[in-house]
Amino acid sequence: MIELEKIVKSYTLGKETVEVLKGITTTIEKGEFVAIMGPSGSGKSTLMNIIGCLDRPTSGTYFLEGEDVSTHSDPELAKVRNKSIGFVFQQFQLLPRLTALKNVELPMVYAGASKKEREERASDSLTRVGLRDRMGHLPNELSGGQKQRVAIARALVNDPSLILADEPTGALDTATSVAIMELFVELNKEGTTIIVVTHEPEVAEYANRVIYVRDGLLGKQPMNGGFPS
């Protein structure tokens, strides 16, 4: 499903060039539930953005579902984000002026779905995350956990093959985190590939496999059983 080959990402700040990802090679199969862990600043988010087609690697190749997306044009990448990928962010990233239902409809708006289809599928999606009775609410009328559920419903609505969550429980308390992670497990059982970035070992336990990122490279095991934060 995901094949990364010597992915390098570097930023140029003035005269200095900083290499954030230093050649990452890995494969993630369809239907996996992967957690990415590693110290702060190690490049987890940078890697996620490349996997999510929000960013392009400086060098290296990236195959997503057999397609070389590292050579895709901007509009092609936008289409991949729209159809194949669902994002869940730590800060929820909901549009404050739109109701839960309208927020969930957004990806379908860009997919060109009809109003009727959008409303139907968005309410199905919200029902699935247990927010059937909150559809007309604005984001600031919802709790953190509920907001994250809306974000997950939005990520689901175009039926993507891959869901990417960058610290989805980072802004939530423990009980709410458990509920959100259980939702991911459920989605994974239904066949969706899920990648979650997290600092919390309890969250990583929900995954089938953990990838460790350290200083822009992959490592199999944590060095001393944990990470400095």
Partner 1 sequence: MSLFENIKMALMSVKAHKMRSILTMLGIIIGVAAVIVVVAIGQGGEAMLKSQIAGDGNTIEVFYQPSEEEMQQGDWEQNPFTSDDIRELEKLDKVTNVVASTSEYSTVRLRDESTDTSITGINQAYMEVNKLDIAEGRGFTSADFLGGRRVTVVSAAMQEELFEGKSPIGEIIRVGVQPVEIIGVLEKPTGLFAFGSVDTYLPWSAMRNMFGTNNYSQVTLEVGDTDDLKPTGEQATEVLNRLHDTEDSYQVMNMEEIAAGIGQVTTIMTTIIGSIAGISLLVGGIGVMNIMLVSVTERTREIGIRKSLGATRQQILFQFLVESIILTLIGGTIGILLGSGTAYLVSFFADWPSLISWQVVVGALVFSMLIGIVFGILPANKASRLDPIDSLRYE
Ligand X SMILES: Nc1ncnc2c1ncn2[C@@H]1O[C@H](COP(=O)(O)OP(=O)(O)OP(=O)(O)O)[C@@H](O)[C@H]1O
CA 202 to CA 115: how far, in whole Å?
A: 40
Interface positions, 32-61, toward partner 1 (CB under 8 A)? 49, 52, 54-55
What order do you get walking across the sheet with 33-37 strand by strand? 85-89, 162-166, 193-197, 33-37, 209-214, 217-219
Taking CB within 5 to 8 Å according to partner kind, which of partner 1, Mg ion, ligand X, none is near residue 154? partner 1
Binding residue for partner 1, selected from 74, 133, 190, 225, defined by CB under 8 A:
74
Binding residue for ligand X, selected from 43, 57, 139, 168, defined by CB under 6 A:
43
DSSP string, 116-164: HHHHHHHHHHHHHTT-GGGTT--GGGS-HHHHHHHHHHHHHTT--SEEE
CB of 18 or CB of 223, closer to ligand X: 18
Interface positions, 2-41, toward ligand X (CB under 6 A)? 11, 13, 18, 20, 38, 40-41
Please state, as a whole number, how many other Cβ atoms lie within 10 Å of the Cβ of residue 133.
9
CA 23 to CA 206: how far, in whole Å?
A: 27
Cα dihedral: 215, 216, 220, 222 (round 10): 20
Binding residue for ligand X, selected from 33, 35, 42, 180, defined by CB under 6 A:
42
- How do strand 67-68 and strand 85-89 relate by DSSP bridges? unpaired
User: What is the closest distance, in whole angstroms, from the C-beta atom of residue 60 to partner 1 in the complex?
Assistant: 18
Binding residue for partner 1, selected from 1, 20, 78, 171, defined by CB under 8 A:
78
Interface positions, 101-140, toward partner 1 (CB under 8 A)? 106-107, 109-112
Taking CB within 5 to 8 Å according to partner kind, which of ligand X, Mg ion, partner 1, none is near residue 41? ligand X
DSSP string, 178-191: HHHHHHHHHHHHTT
Taking CB within 5 to 8 Å according to partner kind, which of partner 1, ligand X, Mg ion, none is near residue 192? none
Taking CB within 5 to 8 Å according to partner kind, which of partner 1, Mg ion, ligand X, none is near residue 43? ligand X
CA-nearest of 52, 22, 27, 53 to 38 is: 22
- DSSP 8-state code for residue 69: G
Binding site for partner 1 (CB under 8 A): 49, 52, 54-55, 74-75, 78-79, 81-83, 87, 89, 93-95, 97, 106-107, 109-112, 154, 158
